[in-house]
Amino acid sequence: MLLEVKARPTSFRFDPKRTALLSVDWQRDFLEAGGYGAALGNDVSVLRKAIEPAKQILSAARKIGLLIIHTREGHLPDLSDCPRTKLARWPKGKRIGDAGPMGRILIRGEPGHEIISDLKPLSGEIIIDKPGKNAFLRTQLEQILIETKIESIIEIGVTTDICGVTTLAGANDLGFDVLAVSDAMASYSLDRHKATLDIITAQGGILGWAAESKDLLAVL
């Protein structure tokens, strides 16, 4: 049975049996006041406004049995999977692998790498650790979606303009229909958040669709 959500540029139709919820990078380093995002001068309260809508979407998705996949951006302790462009772009002390407010910055297993308690994965839910922004890059995400016969993706997460849109564009290129839940995603910049959603839905939905959580929850 197809469900239909009020969205832009057109309604988004999906089969729950062929749909996954992709929960992107809700990590402590990005969202908590003592984390790496705040240390870079960002206002993390802007991101935290998306937590409650995301929490409601996650709960509803679990109740109806959607496949749920969580992602985390981070690297191996020896940085062997970290591209040069990510290592060299920031000053010493703020680079990936350096000591940060919550352990080594963006290193798997460190406190800051973990997903916040409000959106923590349940036992049995899939977690994808990714070395890049795009969750399909050098991960098994595409293969998992193919094996589980997924055709559509509902995306929530942070940040809209970086890991959110690169993952969404990657999914689109691979043939998946993607709905971005606009208020269950966030950027450190409200302007960039809005602009990214406009890009996603431009030209008849060149990358995907966008909907508000209240409209998705009404359907779920």
> Catalytic: which of 25, 29, 161, 183?
25
Extract the runs of DSSP E, i.e. beta strands, from 91-208.
99-100, 103-104, 126-130, 152-158, 177-186
Q: Which domains does the chain have, with CATH numbers?
A: 3-219 (3.40.50.850)
Look at residue 90 in the predicted model and tell me its pLDDT. 82
Half-sphere exposure at residue 1, Cβ-oriented, CA atoms within 13 angstroms: 4
Phi and psi torsions of 83, nearest 5°: -65, 150
d(CA 220, CA 154): 12
Is 98 one of the catalytic residues?
no
Distance from C-alpha of 110 to C-alpha of 121, rounded to nearest angstrom: 17
Q: Mark whether 55 is an active-site residue.
A: no
Q: Which residue among 86, 130, 177, 183 is the active-site one?
A: 130
Q: Give Cα 48 to chain centroid, integer Å.
A: 14
User: Splitting the chain (220 residues) into consecutive groups of 10 residues, what average pLDDT does each group show?
Assistant: 97 98 98 91 96 98 98 97 88 91 96 98 98 97 98 98 98 98 98 98 98 98
pTM tops 0.85, yes or no: yes
Q: Which residue has the tokens 């020896």?
A: 78
Catalytic residue (choose from 29, 161, 163, 177): 163
**Active-site residue flag, 163:** yes
Looking at residue 34, its pLDDT comes to 87
Strand runs labelled E in the chain: 3-5, 12-14, 19-24, 67-73, 99-100, 103-104, 126-130, 152-158, 177-186, 209-211
- What per-residue confidence (pLDDT) applies to 89? 82
pLDDT at 13: 98
